[in-house]
Amino acid sequence: MDYRSAGVDIDAAHRAKNKIRELVRGTFRPETLGDIGSFGGLFRLDKDRYRDPVLVASADGVGTKLKVAFAANRHDTVGYDLVSHCINDILVQGARPLFFLDYLALGKLVPEVVEAVVSGLARACCEFGLTLLGGETAEMPGFYPADEYDLAGTIVGVVERDRLIDGSELEPGDQLLGLSSTGLHTNGYSLARKIFFEQENLTAESRVEEIGAKVGDALLETHRCYLPLIDPLLEKGLVKALAHITGGGLTDNIPRVLPKGTAARIDLDQWSIPPLFRYLQRKGDIAEAEMLRTFNVGIGMIVMVSPGDLETTKSLLADAGEKPVAIGEIVEGECEVVYGGTL
């Protein structure tokens, strides 16, 4: 017997690494030391650029959005999703990304699939200026089906200690601006898949006129990265708090940055729920409260600013091509979201 007979093809792993070598090298920043293939990635923090740097790290996965990628046999977007999601998570604390590491585990290692996944990772890293420093690609027969994989990643960023954002300075009267999402991003997919694929018996190739796209295309729309929009606001010190709307929706994510004695009042009539969410709500007969805890309902990031900085913030966002929506304000309360209006 040998390793291949047990389901692990070391030669296929070498072929995959050769395919992704140049993709990974293309993400290297000047601070990157060494090359891919080492036991650990090396990154030199340029201390001359910072007075009192704080490293901010986060780890996450893509969740069951991967099931849609399998169904559509499209693997070049989920890596982009993962990097964008992780950038947004550390951006909430004011950090800019430095480097990223991925973990890809497959039931059967197919070099072309690995290359497609890593191409998405590399594309996002290049676009947003971070190094794909390293990672792990593991073939795990018997643990994952032969045509499936799991994907996770870790990001490390940096922020000056006195520029950390934690929401502690929020106070009643501060304004909330919503930034639009590009679909479901990376949460709510277990329910969305149940509606599309089980209840409605659709496939990834089925076109739904109500949402104006094929199911696979709509569900695989990439997770939006808000770094280009938020970065100018951070430079000018306008942001008092940020909330990345992921699992838990508006209801559970906004309270994560609220100081004691405050709440967020959200007016649901201030924006139109996109057709994809409207379709899911109608077909699934989903209650409004459930929608607001499961999906981002069209708002992927919330920027919280003082009233005096509202117009400047809106102007800077407009200059970057975004049309922010004034969706509410901070009020007195017990670290919760209070809704007005209806979806």
**Model pLDDT, residue 9:** 80
* pLDDT score recorded for residue 25: 93
Picking from 68, 84, 71, the residue whose alpha carbon sits closest to that of residue 120 is: 84
Give pLDDT tens digits for 43-73. Answer: 999 989 999 999 999 999 999 999 999 999 9
Q: Tens digit of pLDDT per residue, the chain (343 long)?
A: 877 877 888 888 888 888 888 999 999 999 999 888 888 999 999 989 999 999 999 999 999 999 999 999 999 999 999 999 999 999 999 999 999 999 999 999 999 999 999 999 999 999 999 999 999 999 999 999 999 999 999 999 999 999 999 999 999 999 999 999 999 999 999 999 999 999 999 999 999 999 999 999 999 999 999 999 999 999 999 999 999 999 999 999 999 999 999 999 999 999 999 999 999 999 999 999 999 999 999 999 999 999 999 999 999 999 999 999 999 999 999 999 999 999 9
- Return residue ranges of the chain for CATH 3.30.1330.10: 4-163
pLDDT at 11: 82
Q: How are the residues of the chain apportioned to helix, strand and coil, as percentages rounded to the nearest 5?
A: 40, 25, 35
Q: Where in the chain is the domain with CATH 3.90.650.10?
A: 175-340
Give the pLDDT of residue 8: 81
Q: Is domain 4-163 given the CATH code 3.40.50.300 in the classification? A: no
Q: Which residue has the tokens 């069209």?
A: 298
Residue 212 has a pLDDT of: 96
| C-alpha dist (Å) from residue 11 to 15, 17, 20, 140, 244 | 6, 10, 15, 15, 41
The CATH number that domain 175-340 falls under is 3.90.650.10
Residue closest to 91 by CA, chosen among 222, 243, 223 = 243
Please say whether the beta carbons of 57 and 25 come within 8 A: no
Cα separation, 293 vs 311, whole angstroms: 29
